[in-house]
């Protein structure tokens, strides 16, 4: 088969309702992967990036959500982007690599030469075609997207060391206690189908060890039942760490933006990053206006198709460093604001769905759960 005919499959891990609890209250009314960033569901951004891959055969979303929660969106995005998208529900946790292996037969249906694996809660420019070309040059089993970060923040992620000339992954450690490197794992990978053989090997060795323990003593049997199941395989500790330095894994460094979307505050920061990217990649998605026939627009702004803004609209209300839920209202001369520390619990203000802020009320650095009416000002409060 010629390289022009080689098919590629993408798998996007979307997690489940037991994950993402730090994303509340935004995930109370909508699954985290469907929460909008820059006007589009979070998972839309990696899906649309996958469309740029040549010979893309299929995109699979893998997670623990009920299928009904994704059915409408999968049908809608498939039709909009004209790419085949399918949701696969895991029956139990299998780990980041085990989840991939669990659906290996479906993933390999199209006999792909390469498989992309992406995490949904990652915000970046997703340079997937460039990654694939680099991966083919490297000739290994897998290539990891990496980025340089500050030494102070590196230990929050998987740190790695790569050969500066060949880009081979030499060392990998997940969230180390001591500093290893300022290069971190971005949670975006491309593999050859050999990854399934490697995952199977990890699972088989774990099963063999468990059997040996069971044979040794009753006490060992008791402890074995509490150990990690053989089909639970983590990509970082079970694959990346042991295979580093074996000429199987390589790195591709991005110089663009990258963030992990773990908290509501980060969703606000990532919306701004995607809106800035739209200026170059999809300017048609951004609003514009000079105040004559449409409202005055300053900066990178997305206006939802259901929203109508009159050219002369002016309520003298201020909203900044804040997320305002659907069906909510902000009264005249009111302020909904925060300092903009995206990692702090109250670094932004969040109004849940159907929250009413009455006239001349100031809401500062607070979280307000759905269906509340505020007629007095609040500061640094969580209103249940």
Query: Which single residue is written with the structure tokens 């309702």?
Result: 17
Please give the Cα distance from 100 to 98 (Å, whole number).
Answer: 5
The answer as to whether 271 is a domain residue is: no
Average pLDDT over residues 217-246: 75
Q: Is the same domain home to 334 and 213?
A: no
Q: Is the same domain home to 249 and 305?
A: no
Average pLDDT over residues 171-199: 94
Q: How many CB atoms lie within 10 A of CB 159?
A: 24
The answer as to whether 227 is a domain residue is: yes
Show the tokens assigned to 118.
Answer: 């992406």
Q: Is the same domain home to 32 and 154?
A: yes
Please give the Cα distance from 78 to 349 (Å, whole number).
Answer: 34
Q: Which residue has the higher pLDDT, 232 or 22?
A: 232
For 254, residues 6+ apart whose C-beta sits below 8 A from its C-beta are: 124, 125, 127, 145, 146, 147, 186
Residue 165, φ and ψ in degrees, nearest 5? -95, -50
Average pLDDT over residues 62-81: 94
Q: Is the same domain home to 232 and 352?
A: no
pLDDT, tens only, 156-173: 899 999 999 999 999 999
Q: Is the same domain home to 337 and 247?
A: no
Q: Is the dihedral of CA 107, 110, 111, 112 positive or negative?
A: negative
Instruction: Estimate the share of the chain in helix, then strand, then coil, as percent rounded to the nearest 5.
Output: 30, 25, 45
Q: Is the dihedral of CA 171, 125, 50, 18 positive or negative?
A: positive
Is pLDDT at 211 greater than 70 in this prediction?
no
3-state secondary structure of 318: strand
CB-count burial class (<10 Å; 0-12, 13-18, 19+) for 224: middle
Q: Is the same domain home to 207 and 321?
A: no
The answer as to whether 319 is a domain residue is: yes
Let me know: does 348 contact 268? Beta carbons within 8 Å.
yes
Let me know: does 118 contact 187? Beta carbons within 8 Å.
yes
The answer as to whether 20 is a domain residue is: yes
Q: Is the same domain home to 334 and 241?
A: no
Domains of the chain: total? 2
Show the tokens assigned to 91.
Answer: 């029956």
Q: Is the dihedral of CA 284, 288, 294, 298 positive or negative?
A: positive
C-alpha gyration radius of the chain: 23
State what percent of residues in the chain have pLDDT above 90: 71
pLDDT band at residue 345 under the 50/70/90 scheme? confident
Is pLDDT at 144 greater than 70 in this prediction?
yes
Domain limit, last residue, from 229, 263, 297: 263
Q: Is the same domain home to 321 and 184?
A: no
Please give the Cα distance from 333 to 322 (Å, whole number).
Answer: 16
Q: Which of 12, 42, 6 is nearest to 267 (CA)?
A: 42
Cα separation values, 138 from 113, 134, 135, Å = 15, 6, 5
Domain limit, last residue, from 207, 231, 263: 263
Q: Is the same domain home to 163 and 291?
A: no
DSSP 1-25: --GGG--EEEEEEEE-TTS-GGGTT
Please give the Cα distance from 324 to 336 (Å, whole number).
Answer: 9
pLDDT, tens only, 246-303: 999 999 999 999 999 988 899 999 999 999 999 998 899 899 888 888 888 889 999 9
Alpha helix positions (H), 217-252: 218-224, 235, 241-243
The answer as to whether 273 is a domain residue is: no
What is the pTM (predicted TM-score) of this model? Answer: 0.90
Domain of 359 in residue numbering reads as 287-379
The answer as to whether 112 is a domain residue is: yes
The answer as to whether 148 is a domain residue is: yes
Show the tokens assigned to 378.
Answer: 């609040």
CATH number of domain containing 219: 3.90.550.10
Predicted confidence at residue 1, as pLDDT, reads 40
Q: Is the same domain home to 254 and 309?
A: no
Q: Is the same domain home to 218 and 301?
A: no
Q: Which of 234, 183, 269 is nearest to 13 (CA)?
A: 234
Is pLDDT at 216 greater than 70 in this prediction?
no
Q: Which of 258, 257, 239 is nearest to 248 (CA)?
A: 239
3-state secondary structure of 284: helix
Is pLDDT at 235 greater than 90 in this prediction?
yes
The answer as to whether 269 is a domain residue is: no
Q: Is the same domain home to 205 and 314?
A: no
Cis peptide before 25 (omega within 30 of 0): yes
């Amino acid at each position: 088969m010629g390289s022009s005919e080689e098919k590629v499959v993408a798998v996007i891990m979307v997690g489940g309702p037991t994950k993402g609890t730090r994303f509340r209250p935004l995930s109370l009314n909508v699954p985290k992967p469907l929460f909008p960033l820059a006007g589009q569901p979070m998972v839309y951004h990696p899906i649309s990036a996958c469309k740029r891959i040549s010979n893309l055969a299929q995109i699979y979303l893998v997670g623990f959500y009920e299928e009904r929660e994704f059915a409408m969106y999968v049908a809608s995005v498939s039709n909009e982007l004209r790419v085949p998208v399918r949701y696969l529900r895991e029956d139990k946790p299998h780990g980041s690599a085990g989840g991939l292996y669990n659906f290996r037969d479906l993933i390999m249906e199209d006999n792909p030469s390469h498989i992309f694996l992406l995490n949904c809660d990652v915000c970046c420019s997703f340079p997937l075609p460039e990654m694939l070309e680099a991966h083919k040059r490297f000739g290994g089993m897998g290539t990891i997207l990496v980025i340089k970060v500050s030494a102070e923040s590196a230990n929050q992620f998987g740190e790695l060391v790569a050969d500066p000339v060949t880009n081979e992954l030499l060392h990998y450690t997940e969230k180390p206690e001591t500093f290893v490197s300022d290069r971190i794992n971005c949670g975006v990978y491309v593999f050859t189908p050999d990854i399934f053989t490697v995952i199977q090997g990890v699972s088989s060795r774990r099963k063999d060890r468990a059997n040996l323990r069971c044979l040794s003593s009753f006490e060992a049997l008791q402890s074995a039942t509490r150990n990690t199941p053989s089909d639970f395989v983590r990509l970082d500790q079970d694959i990346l760490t042991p295979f580093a330095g074996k000429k199987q894994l390589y790195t591709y460094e991005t110089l663009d933006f990258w963030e992990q979307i773990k908290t509501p505050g980060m969703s606000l920061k990532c919306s701004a990053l995607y809106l800035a990217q739209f200026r170059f990649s999809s300017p048609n998605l951004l609003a514009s206006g000079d105040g004559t026939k449409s409202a005055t627009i300053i900066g990178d702004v997305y206006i939802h198709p259901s929203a109508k803004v009159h050219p002369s609209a002016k309520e003298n209300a201020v909203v900044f460093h804040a997320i305002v839920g659907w069906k909510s209202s902000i009264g005249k001369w009111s302020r909904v604001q925060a300092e903009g520390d995206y990692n702090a619990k109250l670094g932004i203000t969040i109004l849940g769905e159907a929250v009413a802020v009455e006239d001349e009320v100031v809401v500062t650095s607070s979280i307000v759960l759905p269906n509340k009416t505020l007629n007095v000002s609040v500061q640094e409060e969580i209103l249940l």
